[in-house]
Structure 1
Amino acid sequence: MASRTLAMARAVQELPHRSRLAWRTIDISEAGKAGQAEKALDLFDAMPVKNQIAWNTALAALIDAGRTDWAFSFFREMPKRNATSYATIIGGLSRAGATARARSLFEELPLDQHNVFTWTAMVSCHVRNGEPDRAIELFMVLYGEFFGREVLPNAHMFSSLLKACVGLHSLSMALQLHALIVKLLNEGGRDCFVWNALIDAHAKLGALSDAQKVFHEMQHRDICTWNIMMDGYARHKQVDKALDLFSMMRNKDAFSWNIIMHCLSENRRGKDALHLFVDMVRLIGHCGENVQPNTSIYTTALHICSVLALLELGIQIHARIVKDGLCKGNAFVCNSLISMYGSCGATFDLEQVFDEMTVRDIVSWNAVIQGLGQNGLGRQALVVAERALEKKMYNGNTFIAILTSCSHAGLIVEGLSFFDAMAEKHGVERTLDHYICAMDLLGRAGRLEEAYGLLRNMPFAPNAVAWSTLLHSCLAHKNSVLGSMAAQELRALQPDGGENYKRLVQSCRGSDEVVVNPFGNEKSQNHVPGCSWVT
């Protein structure tokens, strides 16, 4: 190995001077991509002659290594800078979220020295950092100036602009860009990512027919094209078309499987999604199929098992996850496992998964509290909650899980104590959901007047969920007076449910008693079944 390295070094030394410089810049670039910023600069410093390409390569190496601040200092030290230098540093600052500094550098370069790459870098910077309006504005302001100099937007520019249109929910702008793309770009080109971006933008902005037209007219499609079109069908709940597209795909990747499974799950076809998951696992290693389930696919499958309470299948998926080495150190998968076991009532397995996790986030703690609480283990849930609060691993959802757990277990004093301490002790502002949880806590205990008082005095306008929570508490404790009031408010918010609420109030007293009808003699033609968000 040493002799081979020595021979290569000798061969490089025997190359002409210009070729040796090219080899050295390649080495600098490779060091940057490997994250070795110091090595890249050592190689750069060792170069006897440094031209503009060498300086730009070293700058790019620092960016690739993630050393943005160092790259900015290096940029300022460069004896000469060109458009490539500016495009490179703007791209690096974009990844670091330093949009203002990037824009300052963009405007520092005289307009006649800009090219499509600096322009694209700045537009992309605005889009990447959540400023789609500024991206569109920059494009429109400079388009006429650059067009006169024959500096035309490229495919990368258009892809970023289409993302900006999605961010601004502007279909009209997307249609104008579509016309420009057809005019300026080679529609038969093999760089299909801009056409993929068009499909995605049209689908997300509601123009599915235009997305289909672009898809069918494309001469070259890659796996992303098929996935994006399938996702478009999924967004518009056209499940059968998404399934047809999925079946037509010759080569599927993990995203393909995840898109179709999520589509089926969202459209109440969870069992079909799980059948596909089983098919995927069976295909591994057969018929050239080498796609392995990834974190998203496992999470989707486990979520469906949670919704359908399929414990046995959930356990089998857990075994597969362990086999694939995605368990203990993967918080996303473990959180899904905790939720699945909680929904299926397997609290022992829930706690075991949590105890074995090597990486936990706030969602992990919330899932355990929620899982224990919804299965009636309120005291155990509060023990975990106290640990989470001590470790500062909490957010607003933590307190929703705590209050819900107290509500299920009848821990009124404890629940109200946590509710009172939220803002003062833990710095978490109460939301409408927290008030509704506290109302449910009081309502289940029969303290209906207190629940009603909390509803009337909370700093939010009561919504249908709040009144529904009060109504169902009144039903449980046969309080038709407050129940009628809650039903009237619900009728105002949800007119189609009027007759349904009337029946609920009548059930407070029993069929033999006369109840004042708060709804008059009207009958709803499209009443919806009454339900409560609290389970």
Structure 2
Amino acid sequence: MHPLTLSSAGLLRLIKSLSPAQAGAHLSVSAIHCLLFEAGILHAGAHLPTALLSAYAALGRPRDARDLDLLMDGVLPDNVALSVALAACHGVSLSAARKPGKMVHALIVTSGIVPDVFVSTELIRVYGECGDLSTSRRVFDEMTVRSTISWNAMMHQYVRHGNVDAAYDLFLAMPRRDVVSWNTVIAGYCVAGRCRESLGLFRQMVSPSSFPVHPNGPTMSTVLTACAGAGGLETGIWVHAYIDKNRMNDDGSLDRSLIDMYAKCGSINKALQVFEKAPGKRDLYSWTTVICGLAMHGRAADALRMFQVMQDNGIQPDDVTLVGVLNACAHGGLVDEGHRYFHSMEKRYAIAPKIEHYGCMIDLLGRVGRLQEAYNMIKTMPMKPNAVTWGALLSACKVHSNVELGEVAAAEVGKLDPGDPWARVMLSSMYAKAQDWSSLARERREMNSLQMKKTPGCSSIELNGEAHEFVAGGFQHPQLAEICSVLENVEAQTHAG
């Protein structure tokens, strides 16, 4: 049926019926658009332009959505059309001067259209995606009415660009917070490596004195990641109990996060308990996580056995699974097995080795002292080696006292990460062990001239749900006097005994 023989309502139905799954759907939308424009009836129905915009956006045609001629016959787009047009702009990569979002914004400003809360929120997102946080914030500040979604959108943009403190300031200023608000700041601190602050926020969220906002699956997944990052086993056990009490893992969706948390907090047996409790709910991610956890704890044989059982259960590995397998071989010193798995990746599993897989092999070869083979693998890799790859070789050179190759690796790490003194510290240690005092003095002079300082080592313990951090050579712990007193008493009792 020809589009022009249809009523306005029929045209709307025709446009909405076009699906991205249909071959040539975008051509059909363009054809209808052209016919309506040429016949001068594009605005015969008030919702036809909006329907075309929606169709273009759904079909991934943002340029066509932008070019829709909404200003013909003096008709200005309404806020619904503007929202759809801005939604179609997400992810479009054009020069800064011609970004479609800015063009829509310019139309709003010059035409005197008063944007509603939905349009302003889309502008916040579009500018945020472009990295223009100052304009995002200006749009936010100019809003006369803000929804919780608007606050969350602005917070999300701060978090995605690493400014979690600004996101938290907004969070504190919010008149009403929902679960997305809490999830955004909790995840923001976690991604920034500030895991203790992330966990502190979660405790506030579930505190009886807080507003009744209940955590959901994404909340718990992030919190478990924070427990893993902070090494907070006590807190992780408490979070696990909270999940079970509130039946938040009946579908097994949090198993992977629980396994990962327990493994990274040093309790591989608890990780295995989680894995074993629900055989019918194991997916690739659960298998992969437990394999990586076993590898991390040096249980190479168990990790490889688990890998075989996984395949026996009809689950094919992905590239992350193979990283776990190769790590297991590295920790177990299983050179032949490592070579076999590495060289069968493409043929058996259709997985091309990535830099992470090469890194595992270099680590494996380095651990067993086959440093020249590790170096040759780095030089013949199909991709450019990174600082982690060279760092693995440097660590192996230190263990096996190969100063000559260590100097090469340290120089490469220094080129890739010139601000990090780690490579120079490692090299200095190698010179000291070899009693090469002139090279050691030279290295220290260079570090001093570059004003490089070694990051002091630190350790932490968790007591009653609170993590205590101790820095080498530091005297800042608030309970230092009490700790020293206890240690002195223990030492005195030891000598007395």
TM category, shorter: 0.7 to 0.9
Q: Which amino acid aligns with 1:375?
A: H
Q: Which amino acid aligns with 1:512?
A: Q
CA distance in 1, matches of 2:54, 2:455: 48
Is 1:157 the counterpart of 2:115 in the alignment?
A: no
Q: Which amino acid aligns with 1:464?
A: A
Is 1:364 the counterpart of 2:291 in the alignment?
A: no
Q: Which amino acid aligns with 2:153?
A: I
Q: Indicate which of 434, 437, 442 corresponds to 2:360.
A: 437
Q: Which amino acid aligns with 1:259?
A: T
Aligned to 2:315: 392
Residues 400, 433 of structure 1: 8 Å contact kept: yes
Q: What is the correspondence of 1:324-343 to structure 2 with a 5 Å cutoff?
A: 324-331=246-253, 333-343=254-264
Residues 467, 489 of structure 1: 8 Å contact kept: yes
Can you list the C-alpha shifts for 1:373-432, whole angstroms capped at 9, x where unaligned? 111221111112113334233211110111112212222222221111111111111112
Q: Indicate which of 236, 244, 249 corresponds to 2:169.
A: 244
CA distance in 2, matches of 1:395, 1:121: 41
Residues 57, 87 of structure 2: 8 Å contact kept: yes
Q: Which amino acid aligns with 2:267?
A: A
Query: How far is the alpha carbon of 1:520 from its aligned partner?
Result: 12
SS in structure 1 at match of 2:71: helix
SS in structure 1 at match of 2:91: helix
Can you list the C-alpha shifts for 1:250-302, whole angstroms capped at 9, x where unaligned? 3211101001111222333322221221121123xx67x33210111111111
CA distance in 2, matches of 1:344, 1:147: 61
SS in structure 1 at match of 2:206: helix
Residues 487, 505 of structure 1: 8 Å contact kept: yes
Segments of 5+ residues of structure 2 without an aligned counterpart are 457-497
CA distance in 1, matches of 2:3, 2:129: 44
Q: What is the correspondence of 1:26-105 to structure 2 with a 5 Å cutoff?
A: 81-88=6-13, 90-91=15-16, 93-94=18-19, 96-98=20-22, 100-105=24-29
Q: Which amino acid aligns with 2:395?
A: H
CA distance in 2, matches of 1:318, 1:85: 55
Residues 500, 527 of structure 1: 8 Å contact kept: no
Query: How far is the alpha carbon of 1:350 from its aligned partner?
Result: 1.3
CA distance in 2, matches of 1:92, 1:381: 51
Aligned to 2:484: none
Aligned to 1:269: 194
Query: How far is the alpha carbon of 1:105 from its aligned partner?
Result: 4.1
CA distance in 1, matches of 2:359, 2:402: 19
Aligned to 1:68: none
Aligned to 2:130: 205
Q: What is the correspondence of 1:518-529 to structure 2 with a 5 Å cutoff?
A: 523=447, 525=450, 527=452
Question: How does the TM-score come out when normalised to structure 2?
Answer: 0.80
Query: How far is the alpha carbon of 1:92 from its aligned partner?
Result: 5.2
Query: How far is the alpha carbon of 1:521 from its aligned partner?
Result: 7.6
Q: Indicate which of 230, 235, 243 corresponds to 1:313.
A: 235
Q: Indicate which of 207, 217, 220 corresponds to 1:298.
A: 220
Q: Which amino acid aligns with 1:177?
A: V
Aligned to 2:427: 505
Q: Indicate which of 142, 150, 154 corresponds to 1:225.
A: 150
SS in structure 2 at match of 1:168: coil
Can you list the C-alpha shifts for 1:156-177, whole angstroms capped at 9, x where unaligned? 3333433444412555423332
Q: Indicate which of 261, 268, 275 corresponds to 1:354.
A: 275
Can you list the C-alpha shifts for 1:26-63, whole angstroms capped at 9, x where unaligned? xxxxxxxxxxxxxxxxxxxxxxxxxxxxxxxxxxxxxx
SS in structure 2 at match of 1:219: coil
- Over the residues paired in the alignment, what is the CA RMSD in angstroms? 3.1
Aligned to 1:215: 140
Q: Which amino acid aligns with 1:293?
A: P
Q: What is the correspondence of 1:472-491 to structure 2 with a 5 Å cutoff?
A: 472-491=395-414
Q: Which amino acid aligns with 2:151?
A: W
Query: How far is the alpha carbon of 1:219 from its aligned partner?
Result: 1.8
CA distance in 1, matches of 2:83, 2:398: 56
Query: How far is the alpha carbon of 1:213 from its aligned partner?
Result: 2.2
CA distance in 2, matches of 1:99, 1:163: 23
CA distance in 2, matches of 1:86, 1:393: 47
CA distance in 2, matches of 1:327, 1:135: 39
How many residue pairs are counted as aligned between the two chains?
442
Aligned to 1:32: none
Change (3 A) 1:86 1:382: farther
Residues 3, 32 of structure 2: 8 Å contact kept: no
Query: How far is the alpha carbon of 1:245 from its aligned partner?
Result: 2.1
Query: How far is the alpha carbon of 1:82 from its aligned partner?
Result: 4.1
Aligned to 2:107: 180
Q: Indicate which of 131, 135, 148 corresponds to 2:62.
A: 135
CA distance in 2, matches of 1:404, 1:438: 8
Q: Which amino acid aligns with 2:180?
A: F
Query: How far is the alpha carbon of 1:125 from its aligned partner?
Result: 4.3
Q: Indicate which of 375, 379, 386 corresponds to 2:301.
A: 379
Query: How far is the alpha carbon of 1:99 from its aligned partner?
Result: 7.3
Residues 90, 102 of structure 1: 8 Å contact kept: no
Query: How far is the alpha carbon of 1:526 from its aligned partner?
Result: 5.3
- Structure 1 window deviating more from structure 2 (84-93 vs 193-202): it is 84-93
Change (3 A) 1:292 1:137: same
Q: Which amino acid aligns with 1:324?
A: N
Can you list the C-alpha shifts for 1:440-492, whole angstroms capped at 9, x where unaligned? 11111111111112112222222222211111111111111111121222333
Residues 365, 393 of structure 1: 8 Å contact kept: no
SS in structure 2 at match of 1:167: coil
